[in-house]
Amino acid sequence: MTQARSRDDVIQQDVADLHKLGYAQELFRSMGGFSNFAISFSIISILTGAVILYDYGLAWAGKAAVTLGWPLITIFVLAIAAAMAEIASAYPTAGGLYYWASRMKNKDWGWWTAWLNLIGQFAIVAGINYAAAGFINATIIERLTAPTFTNTTEIIPGILNGQLVTMGILMLIQLVMNIRGINLVSMLNQVSVWWHIVIVAAVVLLIFLTGKPDQSGLETFAIQPLDTAGSWDNNLGVVHLTYGPAVSYPIILAFFFSLLQANWTYTGYDASAHVAEETVGARVASAWGLFLSVAVSAVVGFIFLLALSTHLPDMSALFPPSLDDPATYSQYYFGGGVAVIEILRYNLGQMGDVLSAGIAIAMAFCGLSSVASAGRMLYAFSRDDGLPGSGWLKKVSHTYRTPANSLIAIVVIAWLFTVAAFIVGTGTAIVIVTAISTIFLYAAYGICIYLGATTDEWMKERVWSLGRWSRPIAWIAVAWVLVLMVLFSFPTSGNISWPFMVVTVLFLLVYYFASARRTFKGPRSMGDSEALTEIEREFSHEAEKLTTA
């Protein structure tokens, strides 16, 4: 009989695996398997993406965005998560995708993967926290989401007094918690899991037991877009582009646009890989955390959305035939999740407002986890001197053993990114940042899965395997990544992700050929085993001084 290994033995093996990859154990390894799952589950957060873009799904496809769109996207995302989980089990290191691509192919593929992932990380932190701030304002602070401004003189007051201020305060709190250490974040992630489950269970049970009849007039599986007055006129079986040249598209295109709701919800689960250096039993725990976070979210999310979608009020107030009154027309232009608030109020009265406040808190948990994940990704890329300021960004706090400087950079840049999106897109800022985060994160996912499908060496290192299904599943995943990159780049409802994507890629091309191709060396060892052990000894010594002070 094989004797079970102790926790210390597992950690020693984790450290040995990390040494083989060339890195010292600078971060504090204390997360268990459930905590690893919890961070990805919290970032996926069915109470964030699915709620904030629920209006968006209704606008483009009616109930079909949930009843058909959610299961369809789940199939593809499970394939992507499974393919990534295999690779995560082979290379258990912070930064995850960047390191995977570098090892499977070369430093250049790693560099491009890193930048795509990093831009996606900035955007997802921005999107989650901007959405959370709006929901907190609407449900807890009892303020509406940031208004639409008609000229630049009105933009500054909006930035100083509205959603962006709440977002900034929220992110400062998240930053302090993240710097204080992984144990605090890990504990809060576990709380987040149960918070999500309790809120979802309460919503589902109360709506099915005491909810009111559906008054929307929408069929459960029919593609019935509710927006017939925006820049895209979804009516009469076709989709009309109502500005510029007269162009019509088949109505099925509106359904595909609605898939952004589900696909943005399913983002950020690479967090399980980014915290691998802080996870005990990282090879197996990171792989299962990555895959199970998607699988569990799929089931819980569908039940939650089905409860909402079968008990809709009259939606005419949110989707009127004209856009004359910005205070009442569909909030999908703002991404405020107003439809969900109204559904809960319609069915549950004051209890609906209480549950909406609970959803706002879940969004704050989601933002906390996203900052933690993005900070690790930035730290890992900086550790290999992959971007300007790496010397400062890769410093780890000896007090808390967290990548404090990278965490600060993530928070500051994500907030500024949102300010820029707000200035360019005003009310549609959330649509901009969600589309951008989805495109860039999945581009990085797709590169790694493609490299995994076309190389063999990494397979010798994996301990979580799909067996003979490995490559077929990988190619399904790559195919969907290509589709979504085209689909979510369409200029729908103020979405400017496609010009942002083009400008960003052009900038990266200039940067790459002018400098990075020559100066970036890729993942590199921090030293031999003795040097790595000495680095770790310094951190232990600092910890001892703190405990005896």
User: Model confidence over 112-150: pLDDT tens digits?
Assistant: 999 999 999 988 898 889 888 888 887 887 644 444 333
Residue 66 lies in a domain: yes
Residue 237 lies in a domain: no
Residue 346 lies in a domain: yes
Beta strand spans in 211-297 (E): 232-235, 238-241, 247-250
Q: What are the backbone angles phi and psi of residue 143, rounded to the nearest 5°?
A: -125, 150
How far is Cα 549 from Cα 423, in angstroms, rounded to an integer?
49
Amino acid at 225: P
Query: In this model, does residue 243 exceed pLDDT 80?
Result: no
Q: What is the pLDDT of residue 330?
A: 45
Amino acid at 158: G
Cβ–Cβ under 8 Å, residues 98 and 441: no
Residue the block writes with tokens 């393919």? 83
Query: In this model, does residue 159 exceed pLDDT 60?
Result: no
Query: In this model, does residue 161 exceed pLDDT 60?
Result: no
| Average confidence (pLDDT) over 233-254 | 70
Residue 3 lies in a domain: no
Cβ–Cβ under 8 Å, residues 209 and 52: no
Q: What is the CATH number of the domain that holds 449?
A: 1.20.1740.10
Residue 77 lies in a domain: yes
> How many other CB atoms sit within 10 Å of the CB of residue 104?
25
- β-bridge partners, 234: 239
Query: In this model, does residue 429 exceed pLDDT 70?
Result: no
Residue 24 lies in a domain: no
Domain that holds residue 55: 30-223+261-548
Cβ–Cβ under 8 Å, residues 452 and 104: yes
∠ CA 299-302-304, rounded to 5°: 110
Q: What is the DSSP letter of 5?
A: P
- Kindly indicate the confidence band of residue 162, based on its pLDDT and cuts at 50, 70 and 90: confident
Residue 80 lies in a domain: yes
> How many other CB atoms sit within 10 Å of the CB of residue 100?
27
Torsion angle of the four alpha carbons 386, 391, 43, 54, in this order, in degrees rounded to the nearest 10? -70
CA distances from 436 to 263, 448, 502 (A): 12, 19, 11
Q: What is the pLDDT of residue 493?
A: 54
Q: What is the pLDDT of residue 332?
A: 46
Q: What global pTM score does this model have? A: 0.89
How far is Cα 233 from Cα 102, in angstroms, rounded to an integer?
45
How far is Cα 67 from Cα 219, in angstroms, rounded to an integer?
10
Residue 381 lies in a domain: yes
Q: How many domains, in total, are found in the chain?
A: 1
Per-residue pLDDT of 178-233, as tens digits, reads 999 889 999 999 999 999 999 999 999 999 999 999 999 899 999 988 877 666 66
Per-residue pLDDT of 49-84, as tens digits, reads 889 888 888 888 899 999 999 999 999 999 999 999
How far is Cα 204 from Cα 308, in angstroms, rounded to an integer?
8
Q: What is the pLDDT of residue 1?
A: 47
